[in-house]
Amino acid sequence: MDDKSLLVKKADRIGWVVINRPERLNTINRATLAELRDAFRDMDRDPEVGVVIVTGAGDKAFMAGVDINEFPGLDAQTGMAYAAEGQALSLAIESFRKPVIAALNGAAVGAGTELALACHIRIAAGHVRMGLPEVKLGLIPGFGGTQRLARLVGRGRALELILSGRMIDAAEALSWGLINRVVAAADLEAASAGLAREIAANAPRSLEYAIQAVVGGLDRSLPEGLALEAEYFGRVCSTEDHREGARAFLEKRRPNFIGR
């Protein structure tokens, strides 16, 4: 697929989703939200895709938030509906059964940070800046930022960032645990693809159930989370890939996983 605001490609079991509005710093609108939903639906159905990488076109912005042209005229009802659209996308990414890596190639502002937070892993170029500056526009984060940021970095830091509206650089984001690693801008694509290939070499059902156990257990008590983990552990024990993995280990060879 190659259209105005999104580029999608695949190679080496990696699906690339590129927000392609560099002239507008990769800001998104309702059309882009719909394209992103369609892209992830197609990636989910594609057996040749094992890991998805989301990034932005150019080197200035991963996503500089929602296109401001979308805001005029919003009221309580339409604003709530718009937030629900963005939340549905971020929830679909967070619960996606294949690993999703955000390759942050530039500024992640507002919805850009919220989209990155929904991804399972975040790798950033050194010049990246992140933040949720919605209060400076008389708004609050609406695509999941108030919830995921607090869960990731704690209530105090989340409130500091949201209430001040300030941006933080990649080094500070790394120290907060907001991103997984920082690399040179020239190395971002290779680093992201390298990690994606490393992950994609593993058993697809194991990746799926590991994601579901981690994401599904976050809002549960420890005993409930452990029960969920045991359930998914039992499921993978019954897969062909588990039996193949055990045989390959004993035979000192690479496993040939088939996703069953």
Asked whether residue 213 carries a pLDDT value surpassing 90, the answer given is: yes
Helix (H) or strand (E) holding 58: none
| Residues 79-133: tens digit of each pLDDT | 899 899 999 999 999 999 999 999 999 999 999 999 999 999 999 999 999 999 9
Mind telling me the catalytic residues? 114, 134
Question: What does the alpha-carbon distance between residue 56 and residue 107 come to, in Å, rounded to a whole number?
Answer: 10
| Structure confidence at residue 33 as a pLDDT band (50, 70, 90) | very high
Pairing of strands 167-169, 129-131: antiparallel
Q: What is the pLDDT of residue 17?
A: 97
Asked whether residue 239 carries a pLDDT value surpassing 50, the answer given is: yes
Could you give the residue ranges of the DSSP H alpha helices within 154-221? 155-164, 170-176, 188-200, 204-217
| Structure confidence at residue 2 as a pLDDT band (50, 70, 90) | very low
Domains of the chain, earliest start first: 6-200 (3.90.226.10), 204-250 (1.10.12.10)
Closest Cα to residue 109, out of 154, 77, 139?
139
Question: What is the edge-to-edge ordering of all strands in the sheet holding 100-104?
Answer: 6-11, 14-19, 51-56, 100-104, 121-125, 181-183
Tell me what the pLDDT averaged over the chain comes to.
Answer: 93
CA distances from 194 to 11, 117, 185 (A): 12, 21, 15
67 vs 86 pLDDT, higher one = 86
Please state the rounded mean pLDDT for residues 24-50: 93
Asked whether residue 67 carries a pLDDT value surpassing 90, the answer given is: no
Phi, psi of 156 (to 5 degrees): -65, -50
196 vs 218 pLDDT, higher one = 196
Asked whether residue 4 carries a pLDDT value surpassing 80, the answer given is: no
CB 121 within 8 A of CB 180: yes
Please state the rounded mean pLDDT for residues 220-249: 90
| Structure confidence at residue 42 as a pLDDT band (50, 70, 90) | very high
CB 211 within 8 A of CB 96: yes
Q: How many helices (H) and strands (E) does the chain have?
A: 10, 10
Q: What is the pLDDT of residue 1?
A: 39
| Structure confidence at residue 160 as a pLDDT band (50, 70, 90) | very high
Q: What is the pLDDT of residue 251?
A: 82
| Structure confidence at residue 7 as a pLDDT band (50, 70, 90) | very high
Percent of the chain with pLDDT over 90: 80
| Residues 144-157: tens digit of each pLDDT | 999 999 999 999 99
Contacts of 75 (CB under 8 A, 6+ apart): none
Own/partner contacts of 44-50, CB < 8 Å, gap of 24 or more, are 44/96, 44/97, 44/98, 46/10, 46/15, 47/259, 48/10, 48/13, 49/10, 49/13, 49/14, 49/15, 49/98, 50/13, 50/14, 50/98, 50/99, 50/196, 50/199, 50/200, 50/204, 50/207
∠ at Cα 229 (226, 235), nearest 5°?
Answer: 145
